[in-house]
């Protein structure tokens, strides 16, 4: 059986959820007084409005967010053989400087320990003839609010010593000033030097004003922030990296972009054209150093894209921009986007939509389908 590898699948470890339970501002978990009601996970700033009763803010949070056995059951149900788990947003971005390092080490050690435990019992079960093995790997988190970038670089180096780690996950705020911040250079340098893959994932979206204000944003639940805010956030973050020359200074950096790169594959031509027509840039007679490498070159050399875009148009743009299907990797976004009828034990619409978009986009090339579903991840992330 060819492997099916889910590289976009999140967990909130039990310790992390407990920490959220102790908080009263975003991100936090609200436990309602009524013990029969669901706890609520409030992570997006648009969720946290005094006009919404606390028991209805955010979304219900059940065991699928933290219990690894529920994830394994989800993998079995969808034929997924291997998952590369990552802490979900907003990771550890919000921690005070003095807590960042210890929490990061704790979370990363928990992820490593979970992978080791699951893989060894899975190997044992397979040896005894009890079903197909399920294998876990992980992307670690970084202590981005720590007092010095060297603490972050040390964690990147430490993660290389943990056998199940295959990279790191990070949001778009960097050290607080975005990904074109020169203070990030030591971190880009460690990622490049250690050849650590960065899984770049959105969280902050766009300001509510972009959607007509807070009330207008909330009117449609999470649709505007998730469908538009997340992809645009990723696009803006990578474009700022490009414009500030990160890919010129660190030409061997490897970045996996969530949600098929947001809108980057679709907008790459426009970004490139705006750069070519910007008088500010030295190459065009101005005084500011613009990017030297083209966005197309970066997309084909430094960028990998997940296939979490739920449609053929997005996948075709991603494949075209990446110069083929070799840099595209299957993902589910579990535990987000569960079935709304609460039949979590059935096949998830979000997953079947993704499977079918990949199949339709690449069909009849079954080798390409297998590559996107698992082969590419095995090769790129060096999985067993």
How many angstroms separate the CA atoms of 66 and 13, rounded? 5
Select the residue interacting with ligand 5CU from 247, 336, 348, 355 (CB under 6 A).
Answer: 336
* Footprint of ligand 5CU on 283-322 (CB under 6 A): none
Select the residue interacting with ligand 5CU from 151, 226, 232, 378 (CB under 6 A).
Answer: 226
Distances (CA, A) of 235 to 28, 213, 278: 27, 22, 19
What would the x/- binding string for ligand 5CU be over residues 79 to 118, using CB under 6 A? ---------xx-----------------------------
Residue 200 or residue 319: which is nearer to ligand 5CU going by CB? 200
C-alpha closest to that of 202 among 165, 246, 235, 155? 235
Residue with tokens 């082969």: 375
- Asked if 16 interacts with ligand 5CU (CB under 6 A), we say no
**Least distance in angstroms from the C-beta of 114 to ligand 5CU:** 19
> By the 8 A CB rule, do 344 and 21 touch?
no
Q: What count of residues does the chain have?
A: 384
User: Residue 42 belongs to what H/E stretch?
Assistant: strand 40-42
**Least distance in angstroms from the C-beta of 126 to ligand 5CU:** 30
Residue 255 or residue 275: which is nearer to ligand 5CU going by CB? 255
Q: Are strands 303-306 and 255-257 parallel, antiparallel or unpaired?
A: parallel
What would the x/- binding string for ligand 5CU be over residues 29 to 58, using CB under 6 A? --------------xx--------------
Which pair of tokens denotes residue 306?
């997940």
C-alpha closest to that of 377 among 9, 84, 85? 84
By CB under 6 A, name the binding residues for ligand 5CU. 10, 43-44, 88-89, 222, 226, 333, 336
């Amino acid at each position: 059986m060819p492997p099916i590898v889910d590289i976009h699948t999140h967990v909130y470890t039990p310790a992390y959820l407990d920490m959220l339970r102790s908080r009263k501002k975003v991100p936090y978990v609200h436990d309602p007084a009524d013990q029969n009601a669901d706890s609520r996970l409030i992570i997006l700033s648009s969720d946290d409005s005094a006009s919404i009763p606390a028991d209805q803010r955010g979304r219900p949070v059940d065991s699928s967010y933290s219990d690894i056995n529920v994830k394994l059951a989800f993998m079995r149900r969808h034929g997924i053989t291997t998952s590369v788990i990552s802490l979900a947003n907003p990771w550890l971005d919000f921690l005070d400087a003095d807590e960042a390092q210890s929490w990061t080490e704790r979370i990363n050690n928990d992820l490593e320990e979970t992978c080791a435990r699951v893989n060894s019992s899975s190997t044992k079960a397979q040896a005894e003839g009890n079903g197909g093995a399920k294998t876990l790997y992980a992307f670690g988190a970084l202590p981005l609010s720590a007092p010095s970038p060297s603490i972050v670089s040390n964690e990147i180096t430490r993660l290389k010593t943990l056998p199940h780690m295959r990279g790191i996950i990070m949001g778009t705020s960097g050290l607080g000033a975005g990904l074109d911040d020169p203070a990030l250079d030591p971190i880009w340098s460690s990622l490049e030097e250690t050849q650590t893959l960065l899984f770049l994932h959105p969280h902050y979206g766009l300001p509510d004003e972009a959607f007509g204000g807070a009330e207008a944003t909330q009117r449609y639940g999470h649709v505007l922030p998730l469908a538009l805010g997340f992809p645009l956030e990723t696009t803006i973050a990578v474009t700022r990296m490009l414009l500030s020359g990160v890919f010129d200074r660190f030409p061997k950096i490897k970045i996996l972009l969530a949600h098929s790169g947001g809108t980057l594959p679709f907008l790459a031509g426009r970004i490139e054209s705006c750069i070519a027509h910007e008088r500010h840039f030295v190459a065009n007679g101005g005084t500011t150093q613009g990017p030297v490498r083209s966005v197309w070159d970066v997309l084909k050399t430094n960028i990998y894209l997940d296939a979490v875009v739920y449609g053929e148009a997005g996948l075709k743009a991603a494949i075209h921009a990446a110069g083929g299907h070799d840099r595209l990797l299957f993902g589910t976004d579990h535990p987000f986007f569960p079935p709304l009828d609460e039949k979590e034990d059935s096949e998830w619409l979000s997953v079947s939509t993704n499977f079918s978009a990949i199949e339709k986009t690449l069909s009849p090339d079954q080798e390409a389908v297998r590559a996107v579903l698992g082969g590419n991840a095995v090769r790129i992330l060096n999985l067993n």
